[in-house]
């Protein structure tokens, strides 16, 4: 009995002990849950407050993108641009507010969103600096602040975002150096820092980012050599470092990047030879233009079977184009312009490149005939062969290129001696997308082809300058309604300027100089209100200068020299304050006085009224032309003294007043014009002493302006 009671007591003690433990655990658990819930509520409230803090620094929200953030009854996880997690439904995991034109600063409070994994504020108008506090976001995987106006340096603390995979800060105003701490981001897959103002050298340690797939550092002020360690970025698919100030050679170690698709190193100061990239089976884009690369084009480039874009233009490459390149049947762009390449283009080039869209070969020493087979590259839309030594006739087959957008064959030895040689011109009327046609500086002869007026109405640039083309300008030229540039200078054109040319209302540049055009300058030219360059010099025009030219309110250069124009200088033309480059009315038969309105030309650089019959005193208002560098009034009938206001022309470099009837003393202020290099006062009636300073101090110079 006693033993049974003892057992019962012990059992009761064990029961109470277990009961006590269960209750204790319950209390602890409840306390923990309560504490956790309280902490969660507190953290959730903090996320909301941090989002509102971000909003408070947004100065402008033109689309009302953040208007939902003002709704007190709407949970912040449902605010526009805000996402929360599944495991932690009250914690912000993403902030996506791209392309909303938001202006203001990025609040450091964003760094308190400790669960955030993605931040995309790209394509806005945010300024200020990138908060250093963002470096505390250990869960952050994606950070895109591109296309804003952010300033300052890239925070070194971003190197602490150990899970960061994408860092895109392109197109801002960031300066300073690239922090070596970014090399700590071992999982980084994209590093995009182009189009900023970054300086200094590229840290060699960037080559340790073994997971990197894309690296873009172009359009900065980076200097120094490209780190050879980049050859260790074996996962890299895109390497873009264009338009910086990199020096040195292209590291041969880049040939180890067997996964590379894009290699863009244009616009630097790289020199030396192009490495052999034959072991890059996936390379589709190779651009090394605008450098100082020398030597020949490597034959091994012809083994890059995936290559679609090859741009080696504007370098110092020599030799011939290797025949191996013509094995690259996938090529759509071949740009080798402005080198020193010799030889010819193969006759079957159009068959070798069936996918070719862009062929840029201008500025070399290529010769022979233009291959007619180019018409087999049916997708070709840009063909530039200017500044070479091509000869023979222009292939009629080019007219089969339905997509042709730009054709420049200027500065060659291309010929058209009889009407059949001009058949290419008629064929080009089939190129309905043609916008640029430049045939200047060749040996094209004979009558202006009538088919010129049937060219594409999309044409905006047409140059036939510096040939030996005769005939008249057809009235039907008005059909080319989209022309902005028309250059027919230095030919043998006769007849008058057709009034219909005034219907080309988009015309901005018209050069008909150095022909044998005659008659009057049509007053209707004044309808071309977009004109900024007008050259009609060295013809046989007569009559008065049309005052209607004053309607060309955008005109910057006007040359009517070497004609037979008569009458006075229209006051209206001298009201064109837009004239910034020059006004040349020299070598005509103009008479009368120089109007006071000449003082309206306040930003003109050169004024030449020489070799006319202008008379009277030179108006004092000429001193208002304070930007004037060149002033030629020689061989007229001007009289009186040199206006004292010329002392205001502090940038004057040339002054020729010779062969007039000026009198009085030579003004002392002429020796105080700091930039004056040429002065001719000869054949006038000056008297008194010659100044001895400035341009007068060199006796040998005095011989050129006898007084």
What topology does CATH give the domain 50-171?
A: 3.80.10
Structure confidence at residue 35 (pLDDT): 40
Position 313 pLDDT exceeds 80: yes
pLDDT at 42 over 90: no
Mean pLDDT of the chain: 92
Max Cα separation, the chain?
Answer: 155
Q: How far is 648 from 669, CA to CA, in rounded Å?
A: 10
**Sequence-separated (6 or more) residues with CB below 8 Å from residue 8:** none
User: What is the mean predicted confidence (pLDDT) over 368-396?
Assistant: 97
pLDDT at 311 over 80: yes
Q: What pLDDT score was predicted for residue 177?
A: 96
Q: What does the DSSP 8-state code read for residue 220?
A: S
pLDDT score of 14: 52
**345-368, pLDDT tens digit by residue?**
999 999 999 999 999 999 999 999
Answer whether 667's CB lies under 8 Å from 643's CB.
no
Q: For residue 706, is pLDDT > 50? A: no
With a cut of 70, say whether residue 343 has pLDDT above it.
yes
Where is average pLDDT lowest: 8-22, 309-323, 359-373, 640-654?
8-22
Q: What are the beta bridge partners of residue 272?
A: 293
Helix (H) or strand (E) holding 390: strand 389-392
- Which has the higher per-residue pLDDT, 30 or 58? 58
Q: Is 130 or 42 the better-scoring residue by pLDDT?
A: 130
Band (696; pLDDT cuts 50, 70, 90)? confident
The whole-number pLDDT of residue 161 equals 97
DSSP assignment of 5-36 equals HHHHHHHHHHHHHHHHHHHHHHHHHHHHHHHH
pLDDT at 707 over 70: no
Q: What is the mean pLDDT of residues 68-91?
A: 94
- Mean pLDDT over 643-670 rounds to 96
- The stretch 624-646 carries a mean pLDDT of 97
Task: List the chain domain ranges.
Answer: 50-171
Beta carbons within 8 Å of 504's beta carbon, 6+ residues apart: 477, 478, 480, 481, 483, 486, 528
> 615, 642, 616: which is closest to 631 by C-alpha?
642
Give me the mean pLDDT over the 148-175 stretch: 97
How far, in Å, CA of 81 to CA of 66, rounded?
A: 8
Predicted confidence (pLDDT) at residue 22 exceeds the cutoff of 90? no
Buried b (16+ CB within 10 A) or exposed e, 252-278: ebbbbbeebbbbbbbbbebeeebeebb
Q: For the residues 455-477, what does the mean pLDDT come to? A: 97
Q: What is the value of pTM for the model shown?
A: 0.88
pLDDT beyond 90 at 690 = no
Residue 1 is predicted with a pLDDT of 44
Alpha carbons 186 and 183: distance in angstroms, whole number = 7
Best-predicted range by mean pLDDT (7-16, 641-650, 666-675): 641-650
Question: Quick one: what percent of the chain has pLDDT higher than 90?
Answer: 89
The span from the CA of 533 to the CA of 583, in Å, is: 11
Please give the pLDDT value at position 38: 42
Give strand pairing partners of 559.
Answer: 535, 584
pLDDT tens, position by position, 572-581: 999 999 999 9
**pLDDT tens-digit map of 238-264:** 999 999 999 999 999 999 999 999 999
Sheet with 589-593, side-by-side order of all strands = 518-519, 540-543, 564-567, 589-593, 613-617, 637-640, 661-665, 685-687
């Amino acid at each position: 009995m006693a033993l049974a009671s003892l057992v019962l007591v012990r059992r009761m003690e064990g029961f109470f002990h277990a009961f006590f433990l269960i209750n204790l655990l319950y209390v602890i658990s409840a306390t923990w849950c309560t504490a956790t819930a309280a902490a969660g509520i507190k953290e959730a409230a903090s996320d909301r407050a941090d989002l509102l803090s971000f909003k408070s620094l947004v100065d402008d929200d033109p689309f009302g993108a953040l208007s939902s953030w003002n709704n007190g009854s709407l949970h912040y996880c449902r605010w526009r641009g805000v996402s929360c997690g599944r495991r932690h439904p009250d914690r912000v995991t993403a902030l996506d507010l791209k392309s909303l034109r938001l202006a203001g600063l990025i609040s450091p409070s964003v760094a308190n969103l400790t669960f955030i994994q993605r931040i995309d504020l790209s394509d806005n108008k945010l300024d200020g600096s990138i908060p250093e506090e963002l470096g505390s976001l250990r869960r952050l995987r994606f950070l895109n602040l591109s296309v804003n106006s952010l300033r300052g340096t890239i925070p070194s603390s971003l190197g602490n975002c150990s899970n960061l995979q994408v860092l895109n800060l392109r197109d801002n105003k960031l300066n300073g150096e690239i922090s070596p701490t970014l090399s700590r981001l071992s999982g980084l897959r994209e590093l995009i820092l182009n189009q900023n103002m970054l300086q200094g050298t590229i840290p060699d340690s960037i080559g340790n980012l073994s997971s990197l797939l894309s690296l873009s550092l172009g359009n900065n002020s980076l200097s120094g050599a490209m780190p050879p360690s980049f050859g260790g970025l074996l996962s890299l698919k895109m390497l873009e470092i264009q338009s910086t100030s990199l020096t040195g050679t292209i590291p041969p170690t880049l040939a180890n990047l067997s996964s590379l698709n894009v290699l863009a190193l244009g616009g630097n100061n790289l020199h030396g030879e192009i490495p052999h990239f034959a072991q890059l089976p996936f390379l589709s884009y190779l651009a090394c233009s605008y450098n100082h690369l020398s030597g020949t084009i490597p034959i091994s480039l012809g083994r890059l079977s995936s290559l679609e874009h090859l741009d080696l233009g504007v370098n110092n490459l020599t030799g011939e184009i290797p025949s191996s390149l013509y094995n690259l049947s996938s090529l759509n762009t071949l740009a080798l312009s402005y080198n020193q390449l010799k030889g010819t283009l193969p006759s079957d080039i159009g068959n070798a490149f069936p996918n070719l869209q862009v062929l840029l070969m201008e500025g070399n020493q290529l010769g022979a005939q233009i291959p007619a087979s180019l018409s087999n590259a049916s997708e070709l839309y840009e063909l530039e062969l200017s500044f070479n030594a091509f000869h023979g006739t222009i292939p009629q087959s080019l007219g089969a290129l339905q997509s042709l957008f730009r054709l420049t064959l200027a500065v060659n030895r291309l010929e058209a001696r009889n009407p059949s040689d001009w058949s290419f011109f008629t064929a080009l009327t089939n190129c309905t997308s043609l916008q640029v046609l430049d045939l200047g500086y060749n040996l094209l002869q004979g009558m202006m082809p009538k088919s010129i007026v049937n060219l594409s109405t999309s044409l905006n640039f047409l140059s036939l300058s510096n040939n030996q083309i005769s005939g008249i300008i057809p009235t039907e030229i008005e059909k080319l309604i989209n022309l902005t540039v028309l250059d027919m200078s230095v030919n043998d054109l006769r007849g008058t300027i057709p009034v219909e040319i005034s219907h080309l209302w988009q015309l901005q540049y018209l050069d008909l100089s150095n022909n044998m055009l005659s008659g009057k300058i049509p007053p209707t030219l004044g309808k071309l209100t977009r004109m900024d360059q007008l050259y009609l010099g060295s013809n046989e025009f007569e009559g008065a200068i049309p005052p209607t030219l004053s309607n060309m309110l955008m005109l910057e250069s006007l040359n009517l020299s070497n004609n037979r124009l008569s009458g006075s200088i229209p006051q209206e033309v001298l009201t064109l304050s837009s004239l910034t480059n020059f006004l040349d009315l020299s070598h005509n038969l103009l008479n009368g006085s120089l109007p006071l309105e000449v003082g309206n030309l306040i930003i003109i650089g050169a004024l030449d009224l020489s070799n006319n019959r202008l008379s009277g005193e030179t108006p004092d208002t000429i001193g208002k032309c304070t930007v004037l560098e060149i002033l030629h009034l020689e061989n007229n009938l001007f009289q009186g003294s040199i206006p004292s206001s010329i002392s205001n022309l502090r940038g004057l470099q040339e002054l020729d007043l010779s062969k007039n009837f000026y009198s009085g003393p030579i003004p002392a202020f002429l020796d105080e014009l700091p930039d004056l290099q040429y002065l001719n006062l000869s054949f006038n009636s000056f008297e008194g002493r010659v100044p001895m300073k400035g341009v007068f101090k060199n006796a040998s110079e005095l011989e050129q302006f006898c007084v």
